[in-house]
Structure 1
Amino acid sequence: MPYTVKGVVARAQGQPVETVDVVVPDPGPGEAVVDVLACGVCHTDLHYREGGISDDYPFLLGHEAAGTVAAVGEGVTHVAVGDRVVLNWRAVCGECRACRRGEPQYCFATHNAAQPMTLVDGTPLSPALGIGAFAEKTLVHALQCTKVDDDVDPAVAGLLGCGVMAGIGAAVNTAPVRRGQTVAVIGCGGVGCAAIAGAVLAGARRVVAVDIDERKLRWARELGATHVVDSSGLDEDGVVAAVQELTDGVGADVVIDAVGRPETWRQAFYARDLAGTVVLVGVPTPEMQLQVPLLDVFGRGGALKSSWYGDCLPERDIPALLELHSHGRLPLDAFVSERIGLDDVEAAFATMGRGEVLRSVVVLGAGADR
């Protein structure tokens, strides 16, 4: 029998979100219904509301989530009712050309639930990143559920469903940062600070944080940055010079752009050492264009990479990072700035826009409010 639950919906571009009744169907073959315990408020959700992802309104927002499996459909053996899970939006298929060539992190046919969730009048909802977890329950493909220990804090674990994993993975998987290297991270919001934590975890000897906001630079230091650059009064050349000065005068081995704008990418490109690596993990908007002299691309060598969800494999990386957290080696709890309710999502977008939080986390149900 379908479930009727409360969920946060964006009905039209730029309009405030609404908390409304959402109908979640019983799980079909290969699907699972999850009781959502916590879900982070991510910039991607705001991009959906603003029409920056697609125009398939209305959207059921939310995707950085952890919860408990409430029901499973036919043929599901991956998880069972009662399992604590983190939801992921890149559930690999195992059969596409990327998977067949041994690169499942680039899977081109990731799994999502086949059935739609709807408004009570039957209008289909487009779930953010195939998840839609600003809701008391959500329907996903069972392979979007990564099983974790029951005692994990859902508000912490859920952040590995997107932003925090994207940042850590950009450093650990995409770059990958090697022990003893120098790293610069441009943009120190949630993803950038996670990239800093990832660089520290990988053994970087020097980590330079770049941002225009003193508060974000303070967070970066707390998460392991050895040096900071306040770029609020610097042009592109000034940022490049500041990073070079802090990295033996030659530039960083790895520069991670966690903003995703042409100007920050150019800063990353020129702030790296010769044959260094640039990693783009910040998400650009469709109208952005990049201009760099092709001779500079040739002459500087190295690698120019984009990072999709930190090039992670959820079944491998989510449990591993939570294990490191449990042993005090990865301060994931530092990313939870505040815990809020479903009705507070619109206000959380404004808080995020002002740069006041690393993550606001919507909490629902017992066990998510600690």
Structure 2
Amino acid sequence: MGQQVRGVVARAKGAPVTIETITVPDPGPGEAVVKVQACGVCHTDLHYREGGINDEFPFLLGHEAAGVVESVGEGVTEVAPGDFVILNWRAVCGQCRACLRGRPQYCFDTHNARQKMTLDDGTELSPALGIGAFAEKTLVAAGQCTKVDPEASPAAAGLLGCGVMAGLGAALNTGGAGRGDSVAVIGCGGVGNAAVVGARLAGAARIIAVDIDDKKLATARSLGATHTVNSRTTDPVEAVRELTGGFGADLVIDAVGRPETYEQAFYARDLAGTVVLVGVPTPEMRLDLPLLDVFGRGGSLKSSWYGDCLPSRDFPMLIDLYRQGRLDLDAFVSETIPLEDVEKAFERMHHGDVLRSVVVF
């Protein structure tokens, strides 16, 4: 039968979002309805609105969310009504070649709810990253719900659903940052600053934050960066080398995702060092590097998908660190806003004024 709630919809490319009445179906087999408590405003939502992901309009935006399971469908055993959960876009299948090889964090067949949420006229909605959480309630696959400590703040916990997890995981999982390492992070928005925090959690001895905005660099320092470099006025490659004894960093994380920043990351690493790309490029971008330099410098060139996280493993552990005061997720919540202010939050995000605006219901 379903129920009707309010949600934020992008109807057309580049058009301002609108508040619409959304019909949320009752959960079918393997599905869950979640009452959303908080949802972060992520760059990915803006990419959806701008048509940068695909053209399957209209979109129900929002995906960085936490809330309480309201009801579940047949066969659901991993969560139950009343559970406090973080929503994720990596509901692993358990059957693909990655899962069967014991690497579910790379699952190639993640799944979403089979039923569609709709506008009140019956138009089917495409939920952002299969979640659609700028809504009072949303329908997801039960595997997209990760149960965590209910004492955690929903506004902070929900950020693990995308950007903060991407940055933390780029350092901890993909990059394998370790005790005593030198780590450079290029781009200090929400994802980049989360990578700074991840490097600190790993025990890195030297954490170098690189950006063109002194405000973002100040935030990076407050979150654990030991050094900062403004690449608008200073060559970041030379600066990173100077700060690492002339060698370059053990790990360099590109949280921007442009050819220029990737090249900086490539040359700012030590011999046999690691580059991790976690910033998302656009389709037209191309990279030109001398193949001899790729060979001669050795090491690893990696891409980080969702911080190579496994939500069932990583979310509860990170929430425990948050509850212990060892991971300051609250620092990423720049402001809390009502559902009606999502469009304004996109504008603030575009100008770099916030790490995260968070819709709180």
Deviation of 1:150 after TM superposition, in Å, equals 1.7
Determine the C-alpha separation between the residues in 2 that align with 1:251 and 1:175: 15
Which amino acid is 2:302 matched to? K
Deviates more, 1:290-299 or 1:33-42: 290-299
Give the aligned residue type for 1:68: V
Q: Which residue of 2 aligns with 1:284?
A: 281
2:309 is equivalent to residue 312 of structure 1? yes
The residue correspondences of 1:262-341 to structure 2 (distance < 5 A) are 262-341=259-338
Separation in 2 of the partners of 1:160 and 1:181? 24
Identity of aligned residues (%): 73
Give the CA deviation at 1:35: 0.3
Residue by residue over 1:185-216, the C-alpha shift from the partner in whole angstroms, topping out at 9 and shown as x without a partner, is 00000000000000000010000000000110
Question: Corresponding residue for 1:154?
Answer: 154
Letter in 2 for 1:210: V
Structure-1 residue corresponding to 2:253: 256
Amino acid at match of 1:153: S
How do 1:30-179 residues align onto structure 2 when only pairs under 5 Å count?
30-179=30-179
The amino acid across from 2:359 in the alignment is V
User: Per-residue CA shift, 1:82-120, capped at 9, x if unaligned?
Assistant: 111000000111110000111111100112000000111
Separation in 2 of the partners of 1:198 and 1:150? 23
Q: Deviations over 1:231-286 (max 9, x none)?
A: 1124xxx2110111111111000000000011000000000001100000001111
**Which amino acid in structure 2 is aligned with residue 282 of structure 1?**
G
For the residue of structure 1 that corresponds to 2:325, the secondary structure is: coil
Using the alignment, how far apart are the partners of 1:10 and 1:175 within structure 2? 35
CA RMSD of aligned residues (A): 0.6
SS at match of 1:316: helix
Query: What amino acid is the match of 2:62?
Result: G
Q: Matched residue of 1:138: which SS?
A: strand
The Cα shift of 1:151 comes to: 1.4
- For residues 262 and 27 of structure 2, the distance between their equivalents in structure 1, rounded to whole angstroms, comes to 43
Q: CA deviation at 1:160?
A: 0.3
**Structure 2 residue identity aligned to 1:337:** S
Instruction: Give the conservation status (yes or no) of the 8 Å contact 1:87–1:131.
Output: yes
SS class of match (1:233): coil
TM normalised by structure 1 equals 0.97
How many residues get paired? 361
2: distance between equivalents of 1:68 and 1:88? 14
TM-score (structure 2 length as normaliser): 0.99
Conserved in 1, the CA contact under 8 Å of 2:88 and 2:162? yes
Q: What runs of 5+ residues in structure 2 fail to find an aligned partner?
A: none
Could you report, residue by residue, the CA deviation over 1:304-362 in whole angstroms, capped at 9, with x for unpaired residues?
Answer: 00000000010110010011111111111100000001110000000001111110000
Residue in structure 2 matching 1:353, options 346, 350, 355: 350
Amino acid at match of 2:343: E
